[in-house]
Structure 1
Amino acid sequence: MKLGQLLFNILIAVTLGCALPSNPADSTSAKNVILLIGDGMGPQQIALAVAYSKHISKSELNLYRLMRDGEVGAVMAEAGTNLVIDSACSATQMASGRSCRPEMLGLDVDGNKVQTIVERAKLAGKSTGLVSDTRLTHATPAAFASHVIHRQFENEIAQQLIESGTDVMLSGGLRHFIPSNILDSAAATSAGIALSPASFPKVKSARRDEEDLLAAAMVKGYETVFDIAGLKASKANKLLGLFALSGMPDAIEMRSIQGNPARSMPTLAEMTTKALEVLARNPKGFFLMVEGGQIDWAGHENDAGRMLHEMLRFDEAVGAALTWAKNRSDTLIVATADHETGSFGFSYSAKDIPEAEQLSQGFFKSVRYEPRYNFGRRENLRKLFDQKRSFTSIVGEFESLNSPDQSPERLAAMVGEATPFILSVDQAREVLAKEPNRFYIHGHSELGNREAPIIRDFTAFYPYIENNRINLIARALADQQDVVWGTGTHTSVPVLVIAHGPSKLTDRFDGFLDMTELGRLLFESMGFDAAG
């Protein structure tokens, strides 16, 4: 669909308060479907990556190729009961075509189990795979193969993932698969779990029971791998790869070690390539979901530099899928997002207004061009890319220092070492200041701290107290970056859906869809009856 028509459809659909009907699906189905989910990837995040590739790296973004050669639609990102959605609900609606409540996994609005596309594909004899750069038990991958009332029950999710029989599962999250008595590396070694110290500097189970899900996986025929060497060497048709205790490293850290021949951590693109290699052995075809999950994490933290790197990491996985599917007429690639995170954007401002300049050619070459505002400097794209550490990494190291060393001067220096943008000592002092938590709830996983860093606007929309110092650093640098943020959570901004493959498969994604419609189209694209 042309961009102008897409924007017109969005305007009409929002005005009418309903989704436009999609093109009716024909009887053609895909042997293979590859679903690529950029968690938190709104149109703004895509624009950030496209701008960087266009103006700085001078290379074509794989997502741009996907949009140029495929069909582009839009999806209303809302829950079955609410205006705003979370990853659990969104992925459930995408995986099942059924409406869901926020934070539920694999259930409809009434709490009934729904059949997911992974489960339906397995019934049809197809192979299935889940890949993520977060952890396997996190909301998006979990939604495709588990059913729990709340996404926080990750130990139960881990057990259900093994029971699901999903053929390839590659991500982080080892802590939810090992028994509670494994509390250090020595215990892991004694249990026969060979882990790389580089990937697993610490080992500690998050389970409260003695369930050994790695042993259970092996009984079910899985080969288990924990580093890139094991991943590359595996010849198994059922593969469980767990490469980090919790979430995998952020994209900035991964880029810094990517060229290291001793690297033990696989990239998202390498996991995608391996999953495709394994799943393609099934003559009946496959369904594969690949998540770039840390785009969302960067958005929650308002870290624009990290978010650019996360987008580029996801784009490499898109490239891996495109390379595999090249010249195939039996494969559909669908790239989309579950929601937008952060209310991110570039914006014009009153800071650093450019000086007037004499135009050197054209009809008005004798006239001075004098902009009234700063409309965003392209060189900031390079500066964002040049960030050496995520703000999460900086704050984590800072908070591990002895209390006397946790000074505003030290924090400002650490930020200055990691990014071209400057955090002043006064700004660092504001980052470190605290006040009583206005939204304190005893026992709440995020709001249970009695004190919180001071966020002076939209405070209620920054509920992740552990992120607030990170948010404050990012917001302090925002006017230097020509960036604005509106929240530390999600927005209701419609997200894009991009379908690439034979036109008989992609045309049905042209339009303005509801998230459940997108889910039903995925079912139909594989020749299955639409869910719900």
Structure 2
Amino acid sequence: MKNIGKKIVSVALIGSLTAGSFAFAAREEAKQEKKQKPIKNVIMMVMDGTSAGATTLARWYKGEPLALDEMASGAVRTYSAESAITDSAPAATALATGFKSNDKYIGVLPSVVNSPGLQPISKEQALKPVANVLEGAELLGKSTGIIATAAIQHATPAGFSAHVPHRNMFPDIAEQQVYQNIEVVLGGGKEALLPGNGKNNRKDNENMLEVIKKKGYDVVETREELLRSKSNKIWGVFADDALAQDMNRPYTRPNEPTLAEMTKKAIDTLSKDKDGFFLFVEGSQPDWAAHANDPVGIISEVLAFDKAVEEALAFAKKRNDTLVIAVSDHGNSGITIGNRNTDQSYPETPVSAYIDPLKKAKMTLDGAMSQLKEDKSNLEEVARLYGLDSLTADEKKRLSESTDIRKTLAELLAARANLGFTTGGHTGEDVFLYTYGPNRPIGTFENTDLAHIMAKALGFDLKDLNKRLFVNAKKEFEAIGAAVAIDQTDAKNPVLIVKKGDTTAKLPVNKNIMMIGNKTYELEGLVVYSADQFWVPKQTIKLFKKIQ
């Protein structure tokens, strides 16, 4: 599937950037052009579900420029193969693989294409796995890492490390991540690594945490353990599911690391590799706060992400071989600074009218609600934690009669702060692009373009990578005279069985191994089962022929 809409240099967008930030960018680029070196490292950073209004609000709250500001370089179109408004799964797939996809799809081609300018998809190609930038970096011998403040199996980090037809397949995503040989993995999602009865626990009784340990990782579960680790391979499991939001962490989970701390540790670890590295970093929870129309949560998570950007920039500025890209995968909530309260008064409404009510909050909406007693006897105390002090009679009445206290608290604070929200879902506007380093992209891009930009910077082509990593196993093995069958004795873990003569090979799904007799051979990529087909690295067929 080819994307028609390619790079458009946007004069309007460039003109909208502040003179200061544009001049800074020009000076930095002039410096870089003098000493141009091949790009050794790429750091890709995604702040999930962050609209322009969210970063503007966070900047006003902070009271000074964001680290992101000096990197502003363009815009990104976020639509999916089927909709003007994307889900995080196809958005991550686009950013990581260079292909637009469908709702819930992770690292696979779409089955429905109806967005203007895109070529149709054939039935044979639908749901085929497609290679991502991280996999390409690994094959170049570079170290790789993924970080998230959500479960590490969540849609966006999964898009850079897995291939499944539905984003909720956490156990499958977890297993694929374990067998990707990623050097640094930091985030939540411990539940999906372990057998159990929880929502995301493994039902196949495989203990991925034990596999991780056998693979030589230093498994860390607290901030202190992470910062103390000297290993070149670190797997951080800091929560069963997601990490705490940044503003809440000191009160609720002080043993968890911040996104900035995880980013710095990952960079320090991966940069030991003389061949360079690829690092993916997600600030996962601006999106969740935006879904809840929680301005305090949005600010908390955008500023936490910005601190992680500071760490990436601090590293990149010391050298001339690192490209840093930061972007949102899509908008969310339609947040506006100004609402119906300011229809007539906006010309003279000061910044303080929007920010001061938010400054009173001690916790985000999630944090405040976590303190609510079952009998709701401390409701006013919870409201104060969220910045709603001195409740009016009307506000008290609304809270006491509310059937959705969470929603009502958010509405009351937004009204006090003169903020507007148009939806509790994603939105389809373009998002800002932030870049720093050699040959940084400037202009308006499709989200798919960024995958190709990163691949080119690192020195490989995604089209060639796809030919190398994902071939149809049945077609390729039958072409050499082998018989192919699928063993589904364990429905959770189908196994590809390949027979020719006296040789029988077994290729379990979601792993990077082929077993023949009592020997296990490591493959250069994953064995993926999608659309009732097995997909394997091309190397697998050559290896089987050689052994057979």
**Aligned counterpart, 1:285:** 276
Taking the TM superposition and a 5 Å limit, the aligned residue runs for 1:455-494 are 469-494=405-430
| Deviations 1:259-283 (CA, angstroms, capped at 9, x unpaired) | xxxx421111110011001111111
Amino acid aligned to 2:273: N
**Alpha-carbon separation, structure 2, partners of 1:348 and 1:134:** 31
| Deviations 1:285-311 (CA, angstroms, capped at 9, x unpaired) | 110011111111110111101211111
**Aligned counterpart, 2:140:** 124
Choose the corresponding residue for 1:299, options 269, 290, 299.
Answer: 290
Amino acid aligned to 1:406: K
Q: Find out whether 1:270 has 2:270 as its counterpart.
A: no
Amino acid aligned to 1:244: A
Choose the corresponding residue for 1:252, options 242, 247, 252.
Answer: 247
**Alpha-carbon separation, structure 2, partners of 1:7 and 1:216:** 49
State the Cα distance separating 1:385 from its structure 2 match. Answer: 3.4
| Deviations 1:312-363 (CA, angstroms, capped at 9, x unpaired) | 111110011111122311000001010111111101544698xxxxxxxxxx
Closer, same or farther: CA 469–520 of 1 in aligned 2, 3 Å: farther
Q: Find out whether 1:66 has 2:71 as its counterpart.
A: yes
Q: Find out whether 1:406 has 2:413 as its counterpart.
A: no
Amino acid aligned to 1:327: K
**Aligned counterpart, 2:514:** none
Closer, same or farther: CA 413–3 of 1 in aligned 2, 3 Å: farther
8 Å contact kept, 1:295–1:310 = yes
Q: Find out whether 1:512 has 2:431 as its counterpart.
A: no
Secondary structure of 1:333's counterpart equals strand
8 Å contact kept, 2:152–2:188 = yes
| Deviations 1:472-507 (CA, angstroms, capped at 9, x unpaired) | 3212332210100011110001111111013xx11x
8 Å contact kept, 1:133–1:247 = yes
**Alpha-carbon separation, structure 2, partners of 1:319 and 1:372:** 33
Q: Find out whether 1:378 has 2:352 as its counterpart.
A: yes
**Alpha-carbon separation, structure 2, partners of 1:373 and 1:65:** 28
**Alpha-carbon separation, structure 2, partners of 1:513 and 1:118:** 21
Secondary structure of 1:383's counterpart equals helix
Q: Find out whether 1:77 has 2:78 as its counterpart.
A: yes
**Aligned counterpart, 2:234:** 239
**Alpha-carbon separation, structure 2, partners of 1:87 and 1:310:** 17
Secondary structure of 2:165's counterpart equals coil
**Aligned counterpart, 1:309:** 300
8 Å contact kept, 1:179–1:205 = no
Taking the TM superposition and a 5 Å limit, the aligned residue runs for 1:37-48 are 37-48=46-57
8 Å contact kept, 1:128–1:286 = yes
State the Cα distance separating 1:529 from its structure 2 match. Answer: 1.3
Closer, same or farther: CA 124–395 of 1 in aligned 2, 3 Å: same
Q: Find out whether 1:174 has 2:179 as its counterpart.
A: no
State the Cα distance separating 1:215 from its structure 2 match. Answer: 0.5
**Alpha-carbon separation, structure 2, partners of 1:301 and 1:4:** 35
**Alpha-carbon separation, structure 2, partners of 1:180 and 1:83:** 38
8 Å contact kept, 2:339–2:420 = no
**Alpha-carbon separation, structure 1, partners of 2:47 and 2:391:** 30
State the Cα distance separating 1:229 from its structure 2 match. Answer: 1.8
When the two structures are aligned, how many residues end up with a matched partner? Answer: 425
**Alpha-carbon separation, structure 2, partners of 1:334 and 1:530:** 18
**Alpha-carbon separation, structure 2, partners of 1:226 and 1:376:** 45
Closer, same or farther: CA 430–348 of 1 in aligned 2, 3 Å: closer
State the Cα distance separating 1:4 from its structure 2 match. Answer: 6.1
8 Å contact kept, 1:308–1:384 = no
| Deviations 1:103-162 (CA, angstroms, capped at 9, x unpaired) | 111111121100011111111111110011111111111111111111111111111110
TM-score by length of structure 2 reads 0.72
More strand by percentage? 2
Secondary structure of 2:247's counterpart equals helix
**Alpha-carbon separation, structure 1, partners of 2:152 and 2:263:** 14
**Alpha-carbon separation, structure 2, partners of 1:107 and 1:296:** 23
Amino acid aligned to 2:89: A
TM-score by length of structure 1 reads 0.74
Secondary structure of 1:91's counterpart equals helix
**Aligned counterpart, 1:216:** 211
Q: Find out whether 1:320 has 2:325 as its counterpart.
A: no
Secondary structure of 1:157's counterpart equals helix
**Alpha-carbon separation, structure 2, partners of 1:422 and 1:415:** 9
**Alpha-carbon separation, structure 2, partners of 1:372 and 1:249:** 35
Which moves more between the two structures, 224-233 or 111-120? 224-233
Closer, same or farther: CA 431–490 of 1 in aligned 2, 3 Å: farther
State the Cα distance separating 1:166 from its structure 2 match. Answer: 1.0
**Aligned counterpart, 2:12:** 5
Choose the corresponding residue for 1:415, options 356, 380, 383.
Answer: 383
Q: Find out whether 1:112 has 2:48 as its counterpart.
A: no
Secondary structure of 1:79's counterpart equals coil
**Alpha-carbon separation, structure 2, partners of 1:2 and 1:430:** 49
8 Å contact kept, 1:50–1:64 = no
Closer, same or farther: CA 423–115 of 1 in aligned 2, 3 Å: farther
Closer, same or farther: CA 334–351 of 1 in aligned 2, 3 Å: closer
**Alpha-carbon separation, structure 2, partners of 1:427 and 1:7:** 44
Which blocks of at least 5 consecutive residues in structure 2 are unaligned? 1-7, 18-32, 111-125, 467-548
Closer, same or farther: CA 102–2 of 1 in aligned 2, 3 Å: closer
Amino acid aligned to 1:89: P
State the Cα distance separating 1:372 from its structure 2 match. Answer: 7.6
State the Cα distance separating 1:428 from its structure 2 match. Answer: 5.7
State the Cα distance separating 1:431 from its structure 2 match. Answer: 5.6
Which blocks of at least 5 consecutive residues in structure 1 are unaligned? 11-25, 184-203, 354-370, 435-452, 454-467
Structure 1 vs Structure 2 CA RMSD: 2.9
